[in-house]
Amino acid sequence: MSTTPPAQPIDHYENFPVASLLCPAHLRAPIAAIYHFARTADDIADEGSAPAAERLDELVAYRQQLNLVAIYPDIQPSQLDPRWSGVFEALAIALQTHGLPVPLLHDLLDAFVQDIEKTRDQAGYATEAELQDYCHRSANPVGRLLLHLYGVTDPQALMESDAICTALQLINFWQDPSVDIPRGRFYFTQTAKASAGVSDADLLALNQTQQVTNMITRCVKDARDTMLQGIALVHKVPGRAGWELRLVVQGGLRILDKIETLQFATLKQRPALAGWDFAVMIWRALWM
């Protein structure tokens, strides 16, 4: 099975505000282009049954297409790889009209490469600093690209964006161990496991011991603290986009609430938002 599906309508990407009605109309196309670029790369890295070597080769070819449109933003679609011509035709327009920072797009690809290599090697992360470094490339570029489009560039705002995006990435990790671990994705660090007295055997067996619960409790607290470090950014992003950011932040915080309601037993159950949760999120967003 090929790991690269044909271009499809945009329909999913974790914690990514995708050209919603709250986005300014003139920015919906570039936001969608960034999203589609990231979503397609994620599919290469994660979908299908191809071996790691094939996935890595496809990401090399995908990166070459990025380099091509970065150098020649007026390139003709017929000159692009037909597997991804729709992705890069839209991205080329966004690069030309909005001057997107290309290194941030490369950071995203670096993170997808790391995902493949870590899964291939059944490897985790040694320290919190190593996990944070991964978030720096897998999550933070999304926020910085959006701030670039919104014209928000001051250093404090960028730091706050990094905090929000890192928190959202960590929340995904602590929400999903019941899914990730069977797939060979390991995000609890060696440091966190050693500190809580958690064994790899219990994690692999999805055995929710008290030690595991204590570790997840600490991880959730750290993710919440990280999110709160960036929360002032919602007042710096202009117009409707600022309200969308409020809902993104509240969505992440609400998932943490749901994990707490489950008594941190996310090895056994994946928390999900229901209709009432969205009402809570909107109410809380109004009071930020």
pLDDT in tens, 212-234: 999 999 999 999 999 999 999 99
Average confidence (pLDDT) over 152-157: 95
Please give the mean pLDDT across all residues of the chain. Answer: 90
- Residue 68 resides in a domain: yes
Residues 109 and 184 in one domain: no
Dist CA 113 CA 135 (whole Å): 13
Radius of gyration, CA atoms only, the chain? 19
Confidence (pLDDT) at 241: 87
pTM of the model: 0.89
Q: What is the CATH number of the domain that holds 132?
A: 1.10.600.10
- Residue 272's Cβ-count burial label (10 Å; 0-12, 13-18, 19+) is exposed
183 with 101, same domain? no
Domain membership of residue 6 (yes or no) is: no
- What span, in angstroms and rounded, lies between the C-alpha atoms of 49 and 1? 6
Both 65 and 161 in a single domain?
no
What is d(CA 160, CA 144) in angstroms, rounded to the nearest whole number? 10
Within this chain, do residues 32 and 131 fall inside the same structural domain, yes or no? Answer: no
Residue 189 within any structural domain of the chain? yes
**Better-predicted residue by pLDDT, 16 or 104:** 104
Domain interval for residue 172: 125-288
